[in-house]
A and B are shown apart, each in its own frame.
Chain A
Amino acid sequence: MKKSIKNVFVLVSICAVVSVLLAITNAVTAPIIAENERASANAALLEVMPDGGSFTSVALDGYTLPATVTEAYLGENGGYVFKLKTVGYSSGFVIMCGVNADGTVSGAVCLASTETLGHEKTFGALLTGKTAENIDAVDTVSGATKTTGAYRAAVKDALNAALILGGGSVDIRTEEEILRDRLTAALPAAQGEFEKLFITESLDGVDAVYAAVNRTGYVLVIGDAFVATDLDGHVITKETAQDETAETAMAALLASELSPITLDAYEGLPSQLVSASRTATGNYDLVIKGAGYGIAGGSAYHPASGEYIYIRVSLTRDGRILDCLTLSQAETDGIGSACADESFYGQFVGKTEETYGEIDAIGGATYTTDGYKQAILRAFACVKIFEGGVES
């Protein structure tokens, strides 16, 4: 018994003595270690802002900043350095970006990423010296649009965040958010939920029509104006110069009637045409499939999906595209899948057989773009056959 008490006593006293020794060493070294860490953190910040001197951390509470901003530091030269976390090809894409006091990018580096092609290492250099106004003019790298697009957007967020921290105010909403906010302002009853209508009639001066999902009315985009109508197509608050245009357009839209066309009745129609309808005013509404990467492409790394791109397109009888929409697609995710974005298919609106080729191709997705254009070309051919009236 006595022996084991002695054992425990010795062990405990050794532990106690060692702990005291450690505490003393810690007291001596902790400030030096903290200073080292601060210096190396500062060195990392200096990398994107060489004349920043010594940086101080900025508390971000109380500011409404872009969601990508996670940390901010203020340099002695009045510039800010931001740490941003975004999503490129995959998540966990961390960027550090410096913004000078005059609102130009002093430098940007990628701190961590799981991107695949390595553009995140070099793209920052292209953004240096840019401002919030001209940064969107920097082209993304074709084939790596997700990585470089996210990079550019994050750096723009940093530029905006610098303005906000400097006391300014910036619209940090995305384009979709701005559109939704404007639609809601025109028709509050819709509670922010709209869907874009597919247009099959020639509507003079009208750029787009949105229907409230809860069926409380429509909003027409006419140039810069947003005009709300009720379900019968009457303008709710009559005051703008566009009221007339809106009422005419809505009358045409609501009167529009689609009657299906029997495809077998025509000869020479391309096999890619899935279905077709004609409106009372003589316009055509076609569903046509295009052979993109899913059919025409395919490699060992990215096998073809075997799926067509299904496209809905409406045309006037003289071959002008009224509206265009990608119904479904299974192109390479992150590359050809951009054909489902309005920024791509929206380009075809207003085009004719002579001008349909003047659209911007999807970067790095030749198969997808070519297959899509091929399908649009076939749509023009279909309209000609229908108009030619060669009924068998």
Chain B
Amino acid sequence: MEMFKSLIVILLSSVLVNNYVLSRFLGICPFLGVSKKLGQAVGMGISVTAVMLLASAITWPIQRLLLDRLGLEYMQTIVFILVIAALVQMLEVVLKKFSPALHKALGVYLPLITTNCAVLGVAINNITDGYSFVESIVSSLGCGLGFLLAMVLFAGLRSRIDESEVPKPFRGLAVTLIAASFVSLAFMGLAGIVDTLFA
């Protein structure tokens, strides 16, 4: 029960309070670039969640069972990024071969994920936060869902911006960032909610 509770807290806080995009600024590029349409936002969000889960499931054992035991902690960054790059490549090949429909839906987002700092960020944070394997999986699921949530919310907001009259210097990224700032402000209001949930 105690463990279940702590897992729920990890999940909710990574979705709502420590949202990777809105409070830690990880994965901002796709957040700003691929949130123009709701469909794209959902596709990107799901792909990122899947890759995050797989990446954490692979990098955690590599760090704990291999690097830590061999005293090669300093190889973390290089090993993790290569694992993620290879994972994305493999996922693309596998999807193409076994599920062309899924590949058609999500494939276009996969190459962009290698350089999505949220994926590498989650993998590294799981290690530095001292999470167990199960906690790591739950935390990456939460981060992925948080990313998806932010993308979907923001896609809805952006369709409104497109319809409005924006002063010339603000057109494009400037107004988008300012809108993102307000979404982030709204998320700040959620801080503290998770702590009091079980109090």
Binding site for B on A (CB under 8 A): 18-19, 22, 25-26, 30, 114, 116
Contact = CB atoms under 8 A, between A and B. Distances in A.
A22 B78 contact: yes
Interface string B157-195: 000000000000000000000000000000000000001
A26 B70 CA distance: 14
A22 B74 contact: yes
B114 to A, nearest CB: 16
A22 B75 contact: yes
Contacts of B75: 19, 22
A379 B199 CA distance: 37
A116 B74 contact: no
Given A25-B74, A30-B74, 8 more contacts: A18-B78, A19-B75, A22-B74, A22-B75, A22-B78, A26-B74, A114-B195, A116-B199
A116 B75 CA distance: 40
A362 B6 CA distance: 32
Interface of B is mostly: helix
A25 B72 CA distance: 12
A18 B199 CA distance: 50
Contacts of B78: 18, 22
Nearest to A26: B74
B196 to A, nearest CB: 9
Nearest to A116: B199
A22 B78 CA distance: 10
Contacts of A116: 199
Contacts of B74: 22, 25-26, 30
Contacts, number: 10
A22 B75 CA distance: 8
Contacts of B199: 116
Interface string B66-95: 000000001100100000000000000000
Contacts of A22: 74-75, 78
Closest 3 CB pairs of A and B: A26-B74, A22-B74, A22-B75
Contacts of B195: 114
A335 to B, nearest CB: 14
A30 B74 CA distance: 10
A116 B78 CA distance: 41
Nearest to A90: B199
A13 to B, nearest CB: 15
A118 to B, nearest CB: 14
Interface string B46-82: 0000000000000000000000000000110010000
10 contacts: A18-B78, A19-B75, A22-B74, A22-B75, A22-B78, A25-B74, A26-B74, A30-B74, A114-B195, A116-B199
A19 B79 CA distance: 10
B131 to A, nearest CB: 15
A19 B199 CA distance: 48
B116 to A, nearest CB: 23
B193 to A, nearest CB: 15
A19 B77 CA distance: 12
Nearest to B82: A15
Contacts of A18: 78
Chain A CB within 10 A, most for which of B74, B78, B195, B199: B74
A22 B79 CA distance: 12
A148 B74 CA distance: 42
A25 B78 CA distance: 14
Nearest to A19: B75
A22 to B, nearest CB: 6
A363 to B, nearest CB: 20
A30 B71 CA distance: 11
A265 B74 CA distance: 85
B83 to A, nearest CB: 13
Contacts of A26: 74
B130 to A, nearest CB: 12
A290 B106 CA distance: 65
Nearest to A33: B74
A32 to B, nearest CB: 13
Nearest to B195: A114
A169 B161 CA distance: 74
B48 to A, nearest CB: 26
A133 B199 CA distance: 36
